[in-house]
Amino acid sequence: MPSDRIVERRRVFQQYKADVKERGKPFYPFAMFHDTVMSLVVVAVITGLAIVWKYSTPGDHIGTDPGWLGKLYDDPADPGTINFVPRPDWYFYFLFYLLRIFKWPNSVIIGTIGLPTVLLVLLLLVPFIDIRSERRLLRRPVAIVASVLVVVSMGVLTYKGATAKESLGSELVAKVPGWAKAANFTANKQAVGGAHLFAVSGCLNCHTYQGTGGGFAGAPNLTAEGAKNKGVQFQIDHLKCPACVNPGSPMPSFAGLGEANLKKLASFLEASKGTK
């Protein structure tokens, strides 16, 4: 025996079908006209964006200089020189920025996997959470609050993700002497060389060092990494395959830098025993 609610909603749907049959209008030409106009607008907008992307690129419109809508293409991918900014397309910025909020190792998984999974499941379950037949917005306060919260938080996260600053390697190199002095490894040539590599290899897009850097994906602060006395060999192994030494680490492999460079970086990390 179906409940009153089920009987009622079945009745309303039968009524809907009867009403549409009686006083609806045919899809063609009425609704189809609206759909066609809207589709033409969509195609025009897409074409317009493509034209602006190309013709706002400076010079002869073929280089890697950014136009109003960004670069036509970046420099070729090079797994060896690791001066990179791990930045996704704009519609992933909200996820991207979540990675700056949650910190490694305890809660980063909440930002990377936990929250998005929970949101996806909640989204799938919407029709089973909201089972009332009321459709008028003013009588659905929970739906209003939920949608405002979602739109605002996604908007803020997207904006923060879009404006999040990544430091350029060239600016960071200027800080190397200061780092060496503060951490007291100026005399250690290997470590100073490693500090240069550290500055230009994109490490600070995620890690922080003496107050500089991204704090992205929960990457730890490395100012006092050497104080843990893990040893040069450990650091080299970790740089080659972070997830092998530290299971679940999202850090990419830096094996492409080569043995000599890895040794410099490792010496730098071991020499970084914090500032006094």
Partner 1 sequence: MATRRMTRSEQLQQTIMYPVDWLEERSGLVGGLRYFLFRKVPGDINWFQTLGSATLTAFIVQALTGVILAMYYKPDPNSAYDSIQHITNDVFAGWLVRGMHRWGASVFIILMFMHMGRVFLFGAYKYPRELNWIIGVLLLASGLGEGFTGYLLPWDQTAYWATVVGININGTAPFLGPFLAQFLQGGTYINADTLSRFYAIHMLMIPGAIAALIGLHLYLVIRLGVTSPPWSKEAAGTGPLNGASPNGRATRTGLSRFRRGR
- Considering only residues 236 through 265, tell me which ones interact with partner 1, judged by CB under 8 A: 243, 248-253
Q: Does 148 bind partner 1 (CB under 8 A)?
A: no
For the beta carbon of residue 117, count every other beta carbon within 10 angstroms: 11
Within 183-202, the residues that bind partner 1 by CB under 8 A are: 202
Q: What does residue 213 show for φ and ψ, rounded to 5 degrees? A: 120, 175
- The minimum distance between CB 171 and partner 1, in angstroms, equals 18
Q: Does 170 bind partner 1 (CB under 8 A)?
A: no
Query: Strand, helix or coil at 44?
Result: helix
Q: Does 123 bind partner 1 (CB under 8 A)?
A: yes
Distance, CA of 261 to CA of 153 (rounded, Å): 42
Nearer to partner 1, 111 or 193 (CB): 111
Distance, CA of 98 to CA of 116 (rounded, Å): 10
Within 25-44, the residues that bind partner 1 by CB under 8 A are: 25-28, 30-32, 34-35, 37-39, 41-43
Q: Which of 1, 2, 3, 4 binds partner 1 (CB under 8 A)?
A: 4
In angstroms, the Cα distances linking 58 to 41, 45, 51, 70 are: 28, 22, 13, 11
Nearer to partner 1, 190 or 261 (CB): 261
Within 61-120, the residues that bind partner 1 by CB under 8 A are: 61-62, 69, 71-79, 82, 84-92, 99, 108-109, 112-113, 120
The CB-side HSE value for 35 (13 A sphere, CA atoms) comes to 6
Nearer to partner 1, 156 or 227 (CB): 156
Nearer to partner 1, 184 or 253 (CB): 253
- The minimum distance between CB 65 and partner 1, in angstroms, equals 13
CB 95 within 8 A of CB 205: no
- The minimum distance between CB 42 and partner 1, in angstroms, equals 5
| Interface size with partner 1, residues (CB under 8 A) | 93
Q: Quick one: CA torsion of 140, 146, 152, 158, rounded to 10 degrees?
A: -140
Q: Does 23 bind partner 1 (CB under 8 A)?
A: yes
What lies within 8 Å, CB to CB, of 165 at 6+ separation is: none
